[in-house]
Amino acid sequence: MAFILISLHVAAAAPLSFTGTNISGGEFCHPKPGVPQVYGKDYIYPSVNEFNYFASKGMNVFRVPFRWEVLQPALMQPLDPADLSRLKAVAASATDRGLIVILDPHNYARYYNDVIGGPKVSDAAFADFWSRLSTEFKNNPRVWFGLMNEPHDMPTADWFNAAQAAVTAIRNTGAKNRILVPGNGWTGVHSWVQSGNDAMLKLTDPANNYIFEAHQYLDHDSSGTHPDVESATIGSERLTAFTDWCRRNHKQALLGEFGAASDSKSKAAVDDMLTFMEKSPDVWLGFTWWSAGAWWGKYMYSIEPDNLNDKPQMTYLLPHLHGVPLVATYRLGPPV
What average pLDDT score do residues 217-228 get?
Answer: 97
Selection from 244, 158, 164 nearest residue 201 by Cα: 164
Single-letter code of the amino acid located at 258: F
What average pLDDT score do residues 236-255 get?
Answer: 98
Other C-beta atoms closer than 10 Å to the C-beta of 4 total: 9
Q: What pLDDT was estimated at residue 315?
A: 92
| Span 4-49, pLDDT tens digits | 333 333 446 899 999 999 999 999 999 999 999 999 999 999 999 9
- Does residue 1 have a pLDDT over 90? no
Q: What pLDDT was estimated at residue 336?
A: 24
Q: What pLDDT was estimated at residue 9?
A: 37
Q: What pLDDT was estimated at residue 271?
A: 98
What average pLDDT score do residues 252-260 get?
Answer: 98
Q: What is the rounded distance in angstroms from the CA atom of residue 105 to the CA atom of residue 335? A: 58
Identify the band that residue 323 occupies on the pLDDT scale cut at 50, 70 and 90: low
How long a stretch of residues is the chain? Answer: 336
More confident residue, 325 or 297: 297
- Does residue 329 have a pLDDT over 70? no
The pTM (predicted TM-score) of the whole model is 0.92
Residue ranges covered by each domain of the chain: 4-332
Q: What pLDDT was estimated at residue 123?
A: 98
Catalytic residue among 150, 213, 230, 304: 150
- Does residue 250 have a pLDDT over 60? yes
What average pLDDT score do residues 47-71 get?
Answer: 97
Q: What is the rounded distance in angstroms from the CA atom of residue 81 to the CA atom of residue 87? A: 10
What average pLDDT score do residues 226-253 get?
Answer: 98
257 is a catalytic site residue: yes
- Does residue 297 have a pLDDT over 50? yes
More confident residue, 325 or 283: 283
Strand spans (E) along 120-248 = 143-146, 179-182, 210-215
Fold of 4-332: TIM Barrel (3.20.20)
**Dihedral, CA of residue 225, residue 227, residue 231 and residue 233, to nearest 10:** 80
Q: What is the mean pLDDT of the chain?
A: 93
What average pLDDT score do residues 205-226 get?
Answer: 98
Cα→Cα distances 265→78, 218, 287, 313, Å: 48, 11, 20, 12
% residues pLDDT > 70 (the chain):
92
What average pLDDT score do residues 223-247 get?
Answer: 98
Q: What pLDDT was estimated at residue 13?
A: 84
Q: What pLDDT was estimated at residue 44?
A: 98
The phi and psi torsions of 203 (rounded to 5 degrees) equal -65, 140
What average pLDDT score do residues 120-135 get?
Answer: 98
230 is a catalytic site residue: no
| Span 72-116, pLDDT tens digits | 999 999 999 999 999 999 999 999 999 999 999 999 999 999 999
Q: What pLDDT was estimated at residue 12?
A: 61
Contact 41, 295 (CB under 8 A): no
| Span 170-191, pLDDT tens digits | 999 999 999 999 999 999 999 9
Quote the Cα angle for 249-106-30, to 5°: 160
Catalytic residue among 27, 213, 257, 304: 257
